[in-house]
A and B are shown apart, each in its own frame.
Chain A
Amino acid sequence: MAVTIFLCFVGFVLGLSFYLGKKAKSAGGYFAAGGQIHWAVNGIAFAGDYLSAASFLGICGMIATKGYDGFLYSIGYLAGWIVALFVVAEPMKRMGKYTFTDALDAKFNSKGIQLVAALSTLIVSIFYLIPQMVGAGTLVEPLLHLPHYVGVIMVGLIVTFIVATAGMASTTYVQFLKGALLIVFSTWLTISVCQRGLTTSPTRVAQDENGKVHEIPHHDYGNITYTEAEGGAIVPGDGKYSFTGQTQTVKNETTGKVSDFVLLKNPDGNDNWWLKVTGKDGELMLSETATQTVRADSSRFINGRKAIGDERLQASYLSKIRGKANTSTGSVGPFEFLATICDEGTEIKHAGSPIKFEHDGNQITAYPIVSTAGSDMMVQGQKFKTKTFWEKINFVSLMLALFCGTAALPHILIRYYTVPSQAAARKSTILAIAAIGFFYILTMYMGMGAMLNCTVDPSDGNLSAPLLAKGFGIFLFAVISAIAFATVLGTVSGLIVAASGAVAHDIMDRYAGMELTDRGKVLSGKIAAAVVGVIAIILGILFQGVNVSFLVGWAFAVAASANLPAIIMILFWDKTTAKGVVASILSGIVSSLTIILLSPDMYAKYLGISVTEAVKFAPMGNLSNPGLISIPLSFIVLVVVSLMTGKKEAGEAA
């Protein structure tokens, strides 16, 4: 049923896109039709444009795995609208220009600007494409039971084919439909989370090969003391557990860290791996890990028990609610839901970084279980710590890039200018802020709901929100996945058009002056779209498992560093010169990309280790977000170069 609902919905949205796109083109321009679009429809369409896969999958996923740190993205993305509305939109409208490139071109008509602006559009589009492709793979996996890379390739091929053949218009009504449905179904999901309430023994669901849904009983990960007998035998402090005689020492070749595992027989009769740790008072302790074992015949085992169908690890749950174990709250209101988690007596058990090893020919992935107080989970610090100098820089950088990024994205402000009156444009934007803000508040409930209802897959946090929906029924799961998938298709399509346009139109035609026939232009556009599509597919596969909102944060940082200083200074500083703009855009691109490529998150990819471990190898420690360095640098470069070249350019113009 899930696949049918999913395919019908995606087919309907695609069909509507083609139909309305074709109609808009044949209507001889927008203005007549545009005048009929109500500002409220345009406002929700605005929200539909903005709420990409990153918002639904990424933010919810990060909240589900890192708590409040994920909500920082919600706050930053929404705050960015203030910059867009108050600082950029109205002055740009006064200038009579509607895009970044338009505004730059109108003032200078410089070849250098045309090239760097196109380059910036291309790079930002590709950065924005990566999380969308990762999101596509994430959605396809639990729904169609296909590997992540198949989902990425599928979306890449479908969209590249659409763009290269017909094109797909992201029309107001399609975006309105997607935006409205996403908000409605997210509200439904949030209400369901509050109605279910909080419990220390949540169950989860899995679908077997025949599509039958099974409820998986709760598993409480234990901590016990032990002693070592002669000959190295382990004697658990709790008589309900027994030592199987098997141990495993794992040494990480890159970091040198050693982990000692012991295989115990649990009271339920299943064998699971426990990690040797040292207790608070120095006592010898064993801590049970969340373990997935894949045997040579490909059969999967979860915590020593044969997995049912698509069953995933139980990676997080409440172990205490307001100081009490084995309790439930029953249905709670929205404030009580969060207040209960904020309580100092509330404790959450969740999976840490995985340790992989081979034992008797079985591939084992063990996640140590960490206990965190609810009061710590509900403040920033699980992902973005602020203790060391670089951690502080990293946190401020993130918040700055999110604040400045929205107004610098090449495509986002276009809709502001598509209603005829200024009052209607502002009303649309205000409604968009209300709708997007409301959705972002819901992300807190969906994210924490996923964390505490055991629907987090520790290998890919992006799955959290769709899996949470699955816990409330297959219908909700299928519809929400379909909306998110349709959003991915629309966003990817728009980005590939923008990127291929930057190559074929801005660079080849306008900058290089290649005199192509109309047919040649179309062909070069299609080839560029195909090349960008292939790049997006490759990057989408490489970045599997990385939080999509985190990746969008990078796109925001590059956009804010490369584009925002140029936009702001053109609008507000008369002495801005073409050479200043070129230097600013280039320095923004180079500095932000350099910092990203040297970040611990990239080192984790290069070396195949966790981000926490990669911090030791990255040259700038914890610095993953470039904004605090690259955005001011780009402003300074623009001012300095403009002052140096101002008289010269004025002389040339005279």
Chain B
Amino acid sequence: MLHEPAAKPSGPDHASGYKAKLGVYMFIVYALFYAGFVAIPLIDPELMKKQIVAGLNLATVYGFALIVFALVLALIYNGLCSAREASEEAKAADGEGK
């Protein structure tokens, strides 16, 4: 794709280590949830037909849940990363002030 060029980083990112670690943990959580979805048809395909809520079967509910859960995790990730970035910036500003 021809896109506009990337923006340059605005400065040193003191929270990068925390964000990388957090990302890996959250990835593991989601990967386990995703693996459950893949495992059910292998172990007990009939289970996916079971009606769970509002007449919808497990396959539909689980599929929608995977989509919604991705968004929820992304929002949590953003919240935690933003909070850490703000606290690191405040620390750095304090350091400069002294």
Contact in complex: A420, B7 (CB < 8 Å): yes
User: In the complex, how many angstroms separate the beta carbon of B85 from the nearest chain A beta carbon?
Assistant: 7
Name which residue of chain B comes closest to A97, CB basis: B6
Contact in complex: A338, B49 (CB < 8 Å): no
Name which residue of chain A comes closest to B5, CB basis: A30
CB neighbours of A427 from chain B (8 A): 78
Contact in complex: A85, B13 (CB < 8 Å): no
Contact in complex: B7, A21 (CB < 8 Å): no
User: In the complex, how many angstroms separate the beta carbon of B25 from the nearest chain A beta carbon?
Assistant: 9
Interface residues of A in 483-521 (CB under 8 A from B): 493-494, 497-498
Known pairs A82-B73, A418-B3; A338 contacts B60 (CB<8 A): yes
Q: Which of B56, B68, B70 has the most CB of A within 10 A?
A: B70
Interface residues of B in 57-98 (CB under 8 A from A): 57, 59-60, 63-64, 66-68, 70-71, 73-75, 77-78, 81-82, 85
Q: Once the chains are docked, how many angstroms separate the CA of A82 from the CA of B29?
A: 10
Q: How many residues of B contact A (CB 8 A)?
A: 50
Asked whether A620 is an interface residue with its Cβ less than 8 Å from the other chain, the reply is no
User: In the complex, how many angstroms separate the beta carbon of B23 from the nearest chain A beta carbon?
Assistant: 4
Q: Once the chains are docked, how many angstroms separate the CA of A343 from the CA of B85?
A: 50
Name which residue of chain A comes closest to B30, CB basis: A82
Contact in complex: B23, A498 (CB < 8 Å): no
Known pairs A78-B66, A379-B49, A392-B42; A30 contacts B59 (CB<8 A): no
Known pairs A93-B9, A386-B45, A422-B13; A24 contacts B4 (CB<8 A): yes
Contact in complex: B7, A90 (CB < 8 Å): no
Contact in complex: A342, B57 (CB < 8 Å): yes
Contact in complex: B56, A395 (CB < 8 Å): no
Contact in complex: B20, A90 (CB < 8 Å): yes
Contact in complex: A418, B7 (CB < 8 Å): yes
Contact in complex: A440, B41 (CB < 8 Å): no
Interface residues of B in 1-34 (CB under 8 A from A): 1-10, 13, 16, 19-20, 23-24, 26-27, 30-31, 34
Name which residue of chain A comes closest to B51, CB basis: A342
Contact in complex: A380, B23 (CB < 8 Å): no
CB neighbours of B78 from chain A (8 A): 423, 426-427, 430
Interface residues of A in 355-383 (CB under 8 A from B): 375-376, 378-381
Contact in complex: A494, B42 (CB < 8 Å): no
Asked whether A642 is an interface residue with its Cβ less than 8 Å from the other chain, the reply is no
Interface string of A85-101 (1 = CB under 8 A from B): 11100110110101000
User: In the complex, how many angstroms separate the beta carbon of B12 from the nearest chain A beta carbon?
Assistant: 10
What total of A-B pairs shows CB separation below 8 Å? Answer: 187
CB neighbours of B8 from chain A (8 A): 31, 420
CB neighbours of B63 from chain A (8 A): 68, 71, 74-75
Q: Once the chains are docked, how many angstroms separate the CA of A165 from the CA of B57?
A: 53
- Interface bracket on A: 35 or more
Contact in complex: B20, A379 (CB < 8 Å): no
User: In the complex, how many angstroms separate the beta carbon of B32 from the nearest chain A beta carbon?
Assistant: 12
Q: Once the chains are docked, how many angstroms separate the CA of A498 from the CA of B1?
A: 7
Asked whether A564 is an interface residue with its Cβ less than 8 Å from the other chain, the reply is no
Q: Once the chains are docked, how many angstroms separate the CA of A427 from the CA of B31?
A: 22
Contact in complex: A90, B23 (CB < 8 Å): yes
Contact in complex: B55, A342 (CB < 8 Å): yes
Known pairs A87-B24, A375-B57; A441 contacts B67 (CB<8 A): yes
Contact in complex: A378, B57 (CB < 8 Å): yes
Of A74, A86, A418, the contact of B6 (CB 8 Å cutoff):
A418
Asked whether A529 is an interface residue with its Cβ less than 8 Å from the other chain, the reply is no
User: In the complex, how many angstroms separate the beta carbon of B49 from the nearest chain A beta carbon?
Assistant: 5
Q: Which of A169-177, A198-206, A295-303, A459-467 contacts B (4 or more CB under 8 A)?
A: A169-177
Name which residue of chain A comes closest to B15, CB basis: A422
Asked whether A594 is an interface residue with its Cβ less than 8 Å from the other chain, the reply is no
CB neighbours of A422 from chain B (8 A): 9-10, 13, 81, 85
CB neighbours of B30 from chain A (8 A): 79, 82, 86
Q: Once the chains are docked, how many angstroms separate the CA of A493 from the CA of B42?
A: 40
Name which residue of chain A comes closest to B35, CB basis: A399
Contact in complex: A87, B55 (CB < 8 Å): no
Asked whether A654 is an interface residue with its Cβ less than 8 Å from the other chain, the reply is no
CB neighbours of B71 from chain A (8 A): 430, 433-434, 437
CB neighbours of A336 from chain B (8 A): 54-55
Q: Once the chains are docked, how many angstroms separate the CA of A91 from the CA of B17?
A: 9
Interface set of A (CB-CB < 8 Å, partner B): 21, 24, 29-31, 33-35, 49, 68, 71, 74-75, 78-79, 81-83, 85-87, 90-91, 93-94, 96, 98, 167-172, 335-336, 338-340, 342-343, 375-376, 378-381, 386, 392, 395-396, 399, 403, 411, 414-415, 417-423, 426-427, 429-430, 433-434, 437, 440-441, 444, 493-494, 497-498
Q: A91-B16, A340-B55 given; name 8 further pairs at CB < 8 Å.
A: A49-B1, A68-B63, A74-B63, A82-B70, A82-B74, A169-B2, A172-B4, A380-B41
Closest 5 CB pairs of A and B: A339-B55, A494-B1, A417-B6, A86-B23, A30-B4
A selection of 25 A-B contacts at a CB cut-off of 8 Å is: A31-B7, A34-B4, A68-B59, A82-B31, A87-B24, A90-B23, A168-B2, A169-B3, A172-B4, A339-B56, A342-B49, A375-B57, A379-B48, A381-B41, A386-B42, A396-B42, A411-B1, A414-B6, A420-B7, A422-B13, A426-B74, A427-B78, A433-B70, A433-B71, A494-B2
